[in-house]
Structure 1
Amino acid sequence: MEDFAEIEAIAGALIRKLSSPARRTLLRRMAREIRTTQTARIASQRAPDGSGFVPRKARKPPAPGNYAVKFLYPRGGSPRLVLMKSWVHEGPLITGFDVEAGGIRSFFWDKIDRWLPVDRDEQNKGAGKFRRQGRIRQKAMFRKLRNGRNLRSDATDVEAWIGFSGRAAEIAGVHQDGLTDRPAAKGKPVRYARRELLGLTPTERSKALDLLLDHILAR
């Protein structure tokens, strides 16, 4: 690591010798390419040191409602009528087969405007079944956090950066440092396991040096 630090110091000196526009171009390319590898690593559910993310806590499979429900959603504005079959209520959400939409949909329980009576013919109305089978929770964590809208990169003529923006930055910070947060507005505080989303790997450090050398040799 000490030898690598010396190489990075030399690289820093070489970057400072470049013109301001050249530095900005190089640093922006570094940031963009490393963001790509960071995204791939997060998708593989691994921290920068190569260790796997702490998995989600296992939950008991929720029992689906054996009857249809009908409600207006959301509260306020112009709510629409929802007829839902084969549903589950888990945490802040109710998830099931939305007959009108023709597929699985989720709604916030506390944003339901009004519950309505369900007619007998609606109870028997044909619709697909909601087979959860753990598919939602089995998918990789941080799918939305790592998309291009939330995980950003850019550079000036003095630094390159890769990070999260907006609300995504708050959520990522909770996982990055293993902090306490509320999973829902009225939920109890929960301490989340530390899952290091951002951090340079040795491969990414080497990649940054390769990009610098390529830039200098191409001049």
Structure 2
Amino acid sequence: MTDDLEALEDWAGGMLAKLEPGERRRLNQSIARKLRKSQQQRITAQRNPDGTPFAPRKERDLRAKKGRVKRKMFTTLKTAKYLKLQADANTIGLAFMGRTARLARVHQYGLRDRPGLNSPRVKYEERKLLGFTADERDMIRDELLAHLAARDL
């Protein structure tokens, strides 16, 4: 995956260097917004970047509650309030900010954490919240091509 991104960077680097910094920043912000939307949709679908489903939640005995509404994981974590984008003329960044970054890191890498203040440490399953899919790499390439083609007209 990183090889694909490096190849894309090598291919587009020279053409992007010819753009003005303001124009590069606008292009990067546009790509970053589309990436965030794509990541949010993938998290909503409970899928890893490779297309596999997230590891299911641990079964819990909730005293056999009837009619319990099943909630999806990470419903608030994926919102724009927590999933911030940073784009300038040279870089695009998409990251979880604040206290949610710790929670996201635990699930991203499958680390150990305490679910509560006095709770024992629990090993969480790995759930890739952030990562590039093949469609996202294609979207980045297409956005670059469309922007450069429109500029040459």
Moved over 3 A (4+): 1-8
SS at match of 2:99: helix
**In 2: Cα distance, 1:206 partner to 1:8 partner:** 13
* Greater relative contact order, per chain length (Cα 8 Å cut-off, separation 6+): 2
Q: How does 1:133-152 map to 2 (within 5 A)?
A: 133-135=67-69, 138-152=70-84
The TM-score with structure 2 as length reference comes to 0.90
The verdict on how the C-alpha distance between 1:172 and 1:26 changes in structure 2, with shifts beyond 3 A counting, is: same
**In 2: Cα distance, 1:16 partner to 1:62 partner:** 61
**In 1: Cα distance, 2:86 partner to 2:5 partner:** 24
After superposition, the CA RMSD in angstroms is 1.8
- C-alpha displacement of 1:214: 1.1
The verdict on how the C-alpha distance between 1:29 and 1:203 changes in structure 2, with shifts beyond 3 A counting, is: same
Q: Which runs of 5+ in 1 are unaligned?
A: 64-130
SS at match of 1:166: coil
2:12 alignment counterpart? 11
- C-alpha displacement of 1:4: 7.4
- C-alpha displacement of 1:42: 0.3
Q: Which has the higher helix share?
A: 2
Identity across matched positions, percent? 40
2:89 alignment counterpart? 157
- C-alpha displacement of 1:140: 1.1
The TM-score with structure 1 as length reference comes to 0.64
**In 2: Cα distance, 1:195 partner to 1:212 partner:** 30
1:75 alignment counterpart? none
The verdict on how the C-alpha distance between 1:200 and 1:21 changes in structure 2, with shifts beyond 3 A counting, is: same
**In 1: Cα distance, 2:57 partner to 2:22 partner:** 45
Is 1:177 aligned to residue 135 of structure 2? Answer: no
**In 2: Cα distance, 1:58 partner to 1:175 partner:** 17
SS at match of 2:76: coil
* TM-superposition CA deviations, 1:139-185 (whole Å, max 9, x none): 21100100110111120111001111101111100000001111001
Higher deviation after alignment, 144-153 or 12-21 = 12-21
- C-alpha displacement of 1:3: 7.3
Q: Which has the higher strand share?
A: 1
> Are 1:32 and 1:154, in contact at CA under 8 Å, matched by a contact in 2?
no
- C-alpha displacement of 1:60: 1.8
**In 1: Cα distance, 2:15 partner to 2:7 partner:** 13
Amino acid paired to 2:93: W
**In 1: Cα distance, 2:4 partner to 2:84 partner:** 30
Q: How does 1:1-219 map to 2 (within 5 A)?
A: 6-62=7-63, 132-135=66-69, 138-219=70-151
Which structure has the bigger radius of gyration?
1
> Are 1:47 and 1:197, in contact at CA under 8 Å, matched by a contact in 2?
yes
